[in-house]
Amino acid sequence: MKTKIGAVVLIILLTGLSNVFPADFSEKIGLVEKLGKKVPLDVSFLDSEGKTVALKDLINKPTVIDLAYYKCTGICTPLMTEVANVINKIDLTAGKDYNIITISINDNEFSKDAAAKKAEMLNLVKTEIPANAWTFLTGDSAAISTVTKAVGFNYQRQEEAFIHTGVLIFISADGKICRYLKPDYNNHGDFRILPFDFKMALLEASKGEAIPVIDNVVRYCFSYQPKSDTYTFDLFKIFGAGTLLMVAVVFVFVVLKPGKHKKTV
């Protein structure tokens, strides 16, 4: 009985820990990291002008890939808006030091949809960048599936909407997946990408370095301070997680420890 009770309590504790440190991805919706793998550069899409372009024509320097769709009423436009904000803040120049590609995951969107979204986003960019610095693409289901599977981007379609995560994927000039950058949120609930994180991810991609995502750990250990645009160490969160972990250890080594068997005469 003691063992059964202890096992139940241990499961509850471990469930609590899993909620503290949520999984980075799911098999149906989310991300399965493909760091070090290559994006198929021979896949073709249509750009905002209706021209057929292959990824190899666009990925010739460190490149940021944003998988979204243009008629999205959820996270897509806010994330693109934050990308435009970051372009204004970093000292690297889009089109010269890096490129950005937004690919629609909706095969029912067309070049006119891409053109409208491109005009909307470029209007937010205050610095002067070439028109091809940020490309907006549409494609058929086969092309979309090829890219999303290659980068581990899983999503589900629900009628005209798509359930998906928000992430930026940093690719080296030869197509290697180097970094996944998940946006955080500011105190108003809006997306926030630190310019420092964005720039570092680009520098890593320029070197072809594949860096694993540690965003969940960083976000748990640190709290974002919007005034200083930095993270500060959150002692209370760490103390809470450490307490749960220590209690779990106690149950493993004390409560569930088998007792000594009595000697029989």
Instruction: Decide if 61 contacts 173 (C-beta within 8 A).
Output: yes
Residue 157 forms beta bridges with which residues?
162
- Angle formed by the axes of helices 111-122 and 76-89, to 10°? 40
Q: Is the pLDDT of residue 182 over 80?
A: yes
For residues 219 and 76, give the distance between their C-alpha atoms in angstroms, rounded to a whole number: 21
CA 206 → CA 8, 39, 173, distances in Å?
A: 49, 15, 7
What percentage of residues in the chain have a pLDDT greater than 70? 68
The pLDDT score that the predictor gives to residue 211 is: 75
Residue 169 forms beta bridges with which residues?
65, 180
Which pLDDT tens digit goes with each residue over 79-120? Answer: 999 999 999 999 999 999 999 999 999 999 999 999 999 999
Strands 44-46 and 153-154: unpaired
Which pLDDT tens digit goes with each residue over 185-233? Answer: 776 667 789 999 999 999 999 999 887 755 444 444 444 344 444 444 4
Q: Is 76 helix (H, G, I), strand (E, B) or coil?
A: helix
Q: Is the pLDDT of residue 15 over 70?
A: no
Instruction: Decide if 106 contacts 46 (C-beta within 8 A).
Output: no
How does DSSP classify residue 138? B
Phi, psi of 117 (to 5 degrees): -70, -35
Q: Sort residue 189 into left (φ over 0), alpha (ψ -120 to 50) or beta.
A: left
Which pLDDT tens digit goes with each residue over 123-169? Answer: 999 988 998 999 999 999 999 999 999 999 999 888 888 888 899 99
pTM (two decimals): 0.72
Instruction: Decide if 64 contacts 100 (C-beta within 8 A).
Output: yes
